Each structure stands twice: as C-alpha cells, then as structure tokens.
C-alpha cells in the first residue's frame, strides 16, 4: 500500500500524479500568486491570479486532483489541512469561487460555492450548492442545500428538500421532498411531492399543486388538502385542445372566469354558459309537443344522492338511463347534458303555454256564456221579485180572509159529511135496486118458461072433465099469479 515513504506519493497515499501550476506568480510568494498546498498531488491551476482592484487574488488548490482553470481568487478544496477530504474539486474560472466539496464544481461566476459532495454551481453570483449532488445553475444568492436539490437560476431561491427543485424566479423555496417551484416570486413548495408556481403560491399540503397568478398584486394561495389542485387566475382561465380563440392574444372578457376552446365558459358569477351558436348547428327539426309532454310526464323524477357524497347532500332529477330512453338525446345513457335537460324543460314550458292559451280561449268563451246567463238571471230575478211582491200581497189578503176561509172550511166539512151520508144512502138504494133487478131477471126467466108451457098446452085438445084444474078460469088464475 502506498504511503508517504513511497516515491511520488503523499501522506494520503495518492501517488504518481504531478501538479501543474500556471498563471500569475506560479511557485512564488508574491501577492496574488497562484498556489498548490504542499502535499497535494494531481492538482492543476491553468492560469489567472494576480492582484485585482488593489487586492490579492491568487487561485489555490488545497486537495488532491483539484483544478482551477483560471480567474481570480478561486479555491479548489476545503483547505482544512487534509489533502484528501475534498478531492477532485473544480473551479472553472470567475472570481472568488470555491469548490470545497469532493468532486464539487463551480464553472464560473462570482462568489459561488459548491460545498456539497459532487455539488455544482454553473455560474452566477453568490450561489451555494451545499447539499450532496446539489446544483445551482446560475442567478444570484441561490441555495441548493438539499440532497440532489436544484436551483436552476433566479435570485434568492432556496431548494432545501431532498430532490427539491426551484426553476427560477425570485425568493422561492422548495423545502418538501421532491417538491418543485417552477418559477415566479415568493412561492413555497413545502409539501412532499408538491408543486407551486406564479406569485405567492404556497403548496403546503403533500402532493398539492398551487398556481397563483399576478395582476399587479400577489395574493397568497395555500393548499389545505393532500393532493389538492389550487389555481388562482386573476385574468381568467382558458382550457382547450386548440388555440383558436387565443391565437391573437385576446383579452378574456372580465365576466368570464373559465373559457374553453369549445366556446362554453364559466362566468365570474358562477354560471356555466353553453355554446349554442346557431351557426354551429345542423339537422334542425321541429318537435311534437304533445308527445314531448307525455314523455316528460312519464319520466321518473326522484330525489337521490351520489355515492361519493355524504348522506346530507341530495339532488333532484332524472336518471340518465330513463332520460335517454324517453328522448334519445346526448352521447349515451350514462350522462345528461345541461343543454338537453334545459331544452326539454323549455320545450315542455312552450307546450304547456300553448295549451294554456287554448284553455284560456275556452275559458273566455265560457265566461261570455256565463255573463249572458248572469244577465238573463238578473232579468228573471227581477220577474221573481215582482212575483214575490204579488205573492206577498195575495198572502196579505188571504190572511185578512182567514175567518171566511175557516167558515167555508166548516161548511165544506158539513157538506162533505152530508155528501158522505148521501153517498151511503145512494149505495144502499143501489144495492136494493140491484136486488130488485136480480128478482126481475128471475121473474122474466119464470115468465118465459110459463109462456113456453102455455103455448104448448094450447096445441093439445083437452076436456074440462079430464083436467078440471085446467079450466079456462083456472088458467086465468094461474097466469094472474105468475104476472103478479
């Protein structure tokens, strides 16, 4: 194993590499001279050094295999007295730069420091890459202190989280692991895997995305929920798959909060406005209003809630399957367009309005008929009133003749009783007459029989001696009895 006793090796055991020292005052003790710390091997100072603006500015390599390409007052190594704790540090040039971390690099610029292992500062001024494998691309007063953190540029930016990134801008901080501030000013990405951009955006929640726009003032916008997307756009939002409506850089109307390439937009008052330009439509067809009303009446309308909503949040409306089955509108039976739902409602209102006009006509006709009947009734009411007056007068007269009426009633009663008695007597006489008529009928039958016998006896010769009782005198007597 190589050690200090081995030829061309130093106390750290680094061997067989000569130093290269160039530039101002190389190998001397002059003010501003470039130098390599004793015991360092493999070091290189290509040039630079000297006095600058009245002060010494020599370049220095303090650790093995360190390199300074040139410039003024630059140092490769940490100058702690050990030559192997900041090996392979490099300063490309510039002024007052320091690469004090092993394999650290400062490409140039001024007053930059790459103090982390394998850290890099590409340029700019007063930038520091202190985290392992950290990078500052440029700018000024930037700090990349997190492991593998990056500040691409800008001013006063800080990337303190592991794998955190600040793209640029000013006074931005990416302190969460894998957090990113894309740019802008005074933004903070403190949540893990968070993202902030714009002006005063604060991605405090893990996995959140915060964008805050600028319109002369910065408004602090803070995420409050893990995975939240927050955006503040004072000039309005625009979304689309083309740039048709924004190719000329038009100013978005002040009442439009969210514009789209489809023409639909969300207003600043919270109203969604659909694109309904006549020039964009075709296959226009009339509606059968009565059939439409029947379909609306048949459409189930219920109260319900979405499964993802809490029990306290409810809605009223049709199901997409029922709506599509009745009207066949929209893309499929899983969605309902606000245009279609509103169109069906408006068409239903129009149909009901026309029905209302029709019924209003019928009602007006009935009202005219009722008015005519009312006039007729008023005339009849007058007639009835007149008749009522007459009845009242007659009633008055009748009440004045109550005594006469009572007397007549009594007389009528007596007459009725007398008539009833006469009727009884008549019935009795009629009964007697009936009996007499019956007796008379019987006598007539007997007379007929006697006459028949008498005629028969007249044809037979009889003597008085043979039938003494049938003498003429006797016959006359018998006949007389019969007649009687």
Measured over the CA atoms of residue 84, residue 89, residue 91 and residue 92, the dihedral's sign is positive
* Residues forming beta bridges with residue 155, ordered by sequence position: 140, 170
pLDDT of residue 243: 56
pLDDT of 469 above 70: no
Structure confidence at residue 73 as a pLDDT band (50, 70, 90): very high
Question: Which value, to the nearest 10 degrees, does the dihedral of the CA atoms of residues 166, 168, 170, 171 take?
Answer: 10
Q: What is the pLDDT of residues 88-119, one digit of tens each?
A: 999 999 999 999 999 999 999 999 999 999 99
Choose between 12 and 449: higher pLDDT: 449
Longest alpha-carbon distance in the chain: 230
Average of per-residue pLDDT across 45-52? 91
Q: How far is CA 164 from CA 112, 175, 211, in A?
A: 20, 7, 17
Question: Mean per-residue pLDDT for 228-235?
Answer: 93
> Distance between CA atoms of 122 and 138, rounded to whole angstroms?
6
d(CA 144, CA 159): 5
Q: What percent of the chain has pLDDT above 70?
A: 88
pTM of the model: 0.67
φ, ψ dihedrals at 183, nearest 5°: 165, -165
- pLDDT band (50, 70, 90) for residue 419: confident
pLDDT band at 81 (very low <50, low <70, confident <90, very high): very high
pLDDT of residue 465: 43
Give the residue from 155, 186, 154, 179 showing the smallest Cα distance to 165: 179
Percent of the chain residues past pLDDT 90, beyond the cut: 63
pLDDT digits (tens, 9 = 90+) for 311-335: 999 999 999 999 999 999 999 999 9
Least confident of 30-44, 73-87, 458-472: 458-472
Q: Which range has the worst mean pLDDT, 132-136, 209-213, 474-478?
A: 474-478
Question: In the structure encoding, which two tokens stand for residue 105, read together?
Answer: 């690099």
pLDDT score of 405: 66
Give residue 250's pLDDT.
65
SS (HEC) of the chain: CCCCCCCCECCCCCECCCCEECCCCCCCCCCCCCEECCCCCCCEECCCCCEECCEECCCEECCCCCEECCCECCEECCCCCCCCCCCCCEECCCECCEECCCCCEECCCECCEECCCCCEECCCECCEECCCCCEECCCECCEECCCCCEECCCECCEECCCCCEECCCECCEECCCCCEEEEEECCEECCCCCEEEEECEEECCCCCEEEECECCCECCEECCCCCCEEEECCCCEEECCCCHHHCCCCCCCCCEEEEECCCCEEECCCCEECCCCHHHCCCCCCCCHHHHHHHHHHCCCEEECCCCCCCCCCEEECCHHHHHHHHCCCCCCCCCCHHHHHHHHHHHHHHHHHHHHHHHHHHHHHHHHHHHHHHHHHHHHHHHHHHHHHHHHHHHHHHHCHHHHHHHHHHHHHHHHHHHHHHHHHHHHHHHHHHHHHHHHHHHHHHHHHHHHHHHHHCCCCCCCCCHHHCHHHHHHHHHHHHC
Summary mean pLDDT of the chain: 88
pLDDT band at 472; cut points 50, 70, 90: low
Average pLDDT estimate for 127-147: 98
Q: Look at residue 474 and tell me whether its pLDDT is greater than 70.
A: no
CA distance 62 to 88: 10
What does the pLDDT average to over 340-353? 94
Q: Which of 170-174, 291-295, 385-389, 448-452 has the highest mean pLDDT?
A: 170-174
């Amino acid at each position: 194993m190589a050690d200090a006793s081995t030829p061309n090796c130093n106390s750290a055991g680094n061997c067989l590499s000569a130093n290269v020292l160039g530039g101002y005052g190389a190998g001397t003790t002059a003010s501003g001279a470039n130098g390599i710390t004793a015991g360092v091997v493999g070091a290189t100072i290509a040039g630079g050094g000297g006095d600058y603006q009245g002060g010494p500015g020599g370049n220095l390599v303090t650790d093995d295999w360190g390199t300074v390409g040139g410039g003024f007052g630059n140092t490769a190594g940490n100058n702690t007295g050990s030559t192997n704790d900041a090996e392979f540090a490099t300063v490309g040039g510039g002024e007052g730069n320091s690469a004090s971390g092993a394999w650290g690099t400062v490409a140039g610029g001024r007053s930059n420091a790459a103090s982390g292992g394998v850290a890099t500062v590409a340029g700019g001024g007063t930038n520091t890459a202190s985290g392992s494998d950290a990078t500052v691309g440029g700018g000024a007063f930037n700090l990349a202190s997190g492991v593998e953190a990056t500040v691409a540029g800008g001013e006063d930016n800080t990337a303190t989280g592991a794998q955190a990134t600040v793209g640029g801008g000013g006074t931005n901080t990416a302190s969460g692991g894998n957090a990113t501030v894309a740019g802008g000013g005074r933004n903070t990405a403190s949540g893990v895997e968070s993202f902030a951009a714009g002006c005063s955006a604060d991605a405090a929640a893990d996995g959140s995305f915060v964008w805050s726009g600028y319109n002369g003032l910065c408004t602090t916008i803070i995420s409050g929920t893990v995975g939240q997307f927050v955006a503040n756009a004072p000039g309005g939002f625009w979304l689309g798959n083309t740039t048709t409506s924004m190719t000329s850089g038009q100013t978005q109307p002040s009442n439009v909060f969210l514009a789209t390439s489809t023409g639909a937009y969300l207003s600043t008052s919270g109203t969604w406005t659909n694109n309904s330009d006549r020039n964009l439509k075709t296959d226009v067809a009339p509606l059968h209003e009565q059939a439409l009303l029947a379909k609306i009446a048949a459409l189930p309308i219920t109260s319900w809630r979405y499964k993802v909503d809490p029990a306290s949040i409810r809605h009223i409306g049709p199901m997409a399957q029922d709506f599509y089955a009745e009207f066949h509108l929209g893309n499929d039976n899983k969605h309902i367009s606000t245009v279609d739902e509103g169109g069906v409602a408006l068409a239903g209102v129009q149909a009901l309005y026309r029905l209302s006009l029709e019924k209003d006509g019928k009602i007006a006709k009935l009202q005219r008929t009722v008015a005519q009947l009312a006039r007729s009734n008023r005339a009849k009411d007058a007639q009835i009133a007149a008749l009522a007056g007459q009845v009242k007068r007659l009633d008055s007269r009748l009440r004045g003749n109550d005594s006469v009426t009572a007397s007549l009633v009594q007389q009528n009663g007596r007459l009725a009783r007398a008539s009833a008695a006469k009727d009884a007597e008549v019935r009795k006489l009629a009964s007697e007459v009936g009996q007499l008529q019956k007796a008379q009928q019987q006598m007539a039958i007997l007379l007929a029989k006697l006459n028949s016998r008498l005629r028969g006896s007249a044809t037979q010769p009889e003597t008085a001696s043979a039938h003494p009782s049938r003498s003429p005198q006797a016959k006359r007597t018998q006949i007389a009895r019969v007649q009687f």
